[in-house]
Amino acid sequence: MALLDVQDLVIDIPVGGGVLHAVNEVSFAVERGETLAIVGESGSGKSLTSLAVMDLLPRVARRRAARLSFDGTDLLTIPERQMRKLRGSRMAMIFQEPMTSLNPAYTIGNQLSEALRCHEDVSAEAARARAIELLERVGIAGAGRRLLQYPHQLSGGLRQRVMIAMALMCKPDLIIADEPTTALDVTIQAQILRLLAELKKELNMAMILITHDLGVVARVADKVAVMYAGALVERGSARAVFKAPSHPYTRGLLNCIPVPGRTAPGAPLGAIRGQVPNLIGRLQGCAFRNRCDFAAPECAGDIHVEAVSPGHDVRCVRLEAQNRAVA
């Protein structure tokens, strides 16, 4: 059984003019030792999906699902007290902005130890030892000295490493990393991604990586889920999705990015015309149809999921038309 199993997750947010359907019937599963990347642009619902798993959604948001289970525990029904025990210890999160998610008024050591001492009955010395061990593990030299420093005394790359160390304090089974490298320089990004991959393997963790950077996804993920306007439009192994992208949106995204050696310098990049639809009110049909070159009347109806190959699904009814056009 998968470590995390999400079936038909729905997130609705009541707003002034009605209900915002932020996430619509999203299903995915993550196994131990596996990295799932959730890809999408801003507003696609990828961050809300991860917050829903952690039960950290904003208070106004409403979460529904056919199933939301973590290692056999039903997360939909467990009381908040038990959820708090899971959160931070068995499922941990690395947030995007290390500057805003570390408390500026406490030392690094203080914040790292707190993560462990909240969940386990350990002495201050033991927590400190574990903090030093992890800081060294994430490549911070002079860890003992760093424990006494405050977040503002560290560079962006170091702060992000501290965030990773903090998420690992309790040896979680599942780690959710929301754009963990977006704010970092490219050379540091490569180092942090390597580090995450190593740690994942070493601790046999499951990882959900949330990002909009297709380069990162291709290099790091085992499985990919592409989200558009709250819906999961394509899902499969990273190889399958990058070698044979099958949803017009996935194809469009891949054509948008300049790739050294592949796109001719100065030539126009592929662009997806139009804009993301408004998600307020009742939604029907494929949300991408107003921007899609293959759109047909049937796209306004119910969209079922089609299998491109085993394990590679796409939410598109115009697969044949697309394949004809590509061939």
Partner 1 sequence: MSDIVLELKDVTRRFDVSQGVFRPKATLTAVANVSLQVKRGEVFTLVGESGSGKSTLAKMLLGLLSPSSGEILIDGVPIAASNRIAVARRIQPIFQDPYSSLNPRKSIAQLVGLPLLVHNVGDAASRRAKVVEMLDLVGLPRRMLDVYPGQLSGGQRQRVAIARALVMRPEVVICDEPTSALDVSVQAQILNLLLELKRELGLTYFFISHNLAVVEHLADRVAVMYLGRIVEERTRAGLFARPGHPYTRALLESVLTPDPDLGVPETHIGSAMANPMAEHAGCPFQPRCPSAIDICRTTAPAVSSLPDGWATCHLLQQEAVASL
First to last CA, the chain: 39
Looking at the Cβ atoms of 6 and 162, the one nearer to partner 1 is 162
Give CA–CA dist 242/254, Å, rounded: 8
Closest CA to 315 of 252, 253, 249: 249
89 counts as binding partner 1 under rule CB under 8 A:
no
Q: What is the largest CA-CA distance in the chain?
A: 66
- Tokens in use for 80? 């908040």
The minimum distance between CB 241 and partner 1, in angstroms, equals 8
> Candidates 64-72, 74-82, 210-218, 293-301 — which segment interacts with partner 1 by CB under 8 A?
210-218
Question: Which residue's entry shows tokens 């799932």?
Answer: 36
Give CA–CA dist 180/188, Å, rounded: 11
Strand pairing report for 223-228 and 174-178? unpaired
214 counts as binding partner 1 under rule CB under 8 A:
yes
Q: Do the beta carbons of residue 106 and residue 112 sit within 8 Å?
A: no
What part of residues 156-195 is at the interface with partner 1 (CB under 8 A)? Answer: 156-158, 185-191, 193-194
Looking at the Cβ atoms of 110 and 182, the one nearer to partner 1 is 182
137 counts as binding partner 1 under rule CB under 8 A:
no
Looking at the Cβ atoms of 186 and 326, the one nearer to partner 1 is 186
The minimum distance between CB 31 and partner 1, in angstroms, equals 18
List of E strands, 179-323: 206-211, 223-228, 231-237, 306-309, 312-314
The minimum distance between CB 250 and partner 1, in angstroms, equals 11
281 counts as binding partner 1 under rule CB under 8 A:
no
252 counts as binding partner 1 under rule CB under 8 A:
yes
The minimum distance between CB 1 and partner 1, in angstroms, equals 26
What is the contact surface with partner 1 in residues (CB under 8 A)? 41-42, 139, 155-158, 185-191, 193-194, 197, 212-220, 238-239, 241-243, 252-263, 265-266, 268-272, 275-276
